[in-house]
Amino acid sequence: MEEAALFNQTSVVTCFRLTGLSVNQKVQTALFAMFLIFYVLTLFGNILIVITIIYDRRLHTPMYFFLSNLSFIDVCHSTVTVPKMLIDTWSEEKLIPFDACVAQMFFLHLFACTEIFLLTVMAYDRYVAICKPLQYMTIMNWKVCVLLAVALWTGGTIHSISFTSLTIIVPYCGPNEIDNFFCDVPQVIKLACTDTTIIEILIASNSGMISMVCFVIIVVSYGVILVSLRQQFSEGRRKALSTCAAHLTVVTLFLGHCIFIYTRPSISFPQDKVVSAFFAAVTPLLNPFIYTFRNEDMKNALKKLMGRKKRKEEK
């Protein structure tokens, strides 16, 4: 009771002030145009992938089931931060209420952690498909795929709740300026009116453990795949390598950001905003380009979908 009373007395911060990406209005205008284009392309590309996979029965396989989940997560992940950033471009205050800040942190980590787990599952899926092709549909049957999807979303939710809880249990009594264009745990926790060393260690160790375990699983999966590909014919090897290269590109970009931001103490670096902007706006956009333009099955399905729409318009 005494701790609750102390929190109520000291927690006087009702909103946070975001610094944004730049204080120069011309730069902000240019950034607004650029990130608006990125966001629209992200929505269009990823939603198109989901619709194409749903529409084309030939893509109703575990690989494309997980790819549609990835596209859905990228849409949600980008929507958590980019619209607010675009609105703040034209605002001098750039304020965000305390509750909205907490909600933004929760959904940011929900989608980010879920995507890390999903990329790990996708690496395992590729391992089974390439190294155990005859047993693939037995191992990766639809029941297993649904259970894996439920597990990775549950894991992301648990991680997000734990991260957000560590942030809101401490008092905030000023200052209230967050040196970023969205609310994130490392920046927010620095504003607490108490010693947060233990919390910062817990956050870094939690993120570090998740990132490293997933990274090891992915590296082992692709290491075994590369050894297995040495025994396959050139055409099958080329297609498998193309798929794996696309996946590794996404993994490198995504896990690289997580390791850079979350596995160190809450110390700000000049590069943080650039890395965060790339993570929030650019990485979700790369998914459609990496997976669609390098994948013959997706390109054929898109052509088929576009051809059907054209015939309907002609009628």
Phi-psi region of 94 (alpha: psi -120 to 50; beta: other; left: phi over 0): left
Tell me, what's the pLDDT at 7?
41
Task: Tell me: pLDDT of 6 over 50.
Answer: no
Token pair, residue 241, equals 């390598």
- Residues 113-158 have pLDDT tens digits of 999 999 899 889 988 988 888 899 899 999 999 999 999 999 999 9
> pLDDT category, 77, cuts 50, 70, 90?
very high
Tell me, what's the pLDDT at 129?
87
Task: Tell me: pLDDT of 254 over 80.
Answer: no
- Residues 52-76 have pLDDT tens digits of 999 888 889 998 999 999 999 999 9
Q: Across-strand partners of 258?
A: none
Most trustworthy range by pLDDT among 217-221, 230-234, 238-242: 217-221
- Domain 16-309 carries which CATH code? 1.20.1070.10
- Considering the chain, what is the average pLDDT of its residues? 82
Answer whether 0.75 is exceeded by the pTM. Answer: yes
What's the rounded mean pLDDT across residues 294-314? Answer: 70
What is the SS3 assignment for 150-187?
HHHHHHHHHHHHHHHHHHHCCCCCCCCEECCCCCCHHH
Domain ranges for the chain, please list them: 16-309
CA distance 198 to 7: 18
What's the rounded mean pLDDT across residues 223-247? Answer: 71
Q: Which residues contact 308 (CB under 8 A, 6 or more apart)?
A: none
Tell me, what's the pLDDT at 147?
96
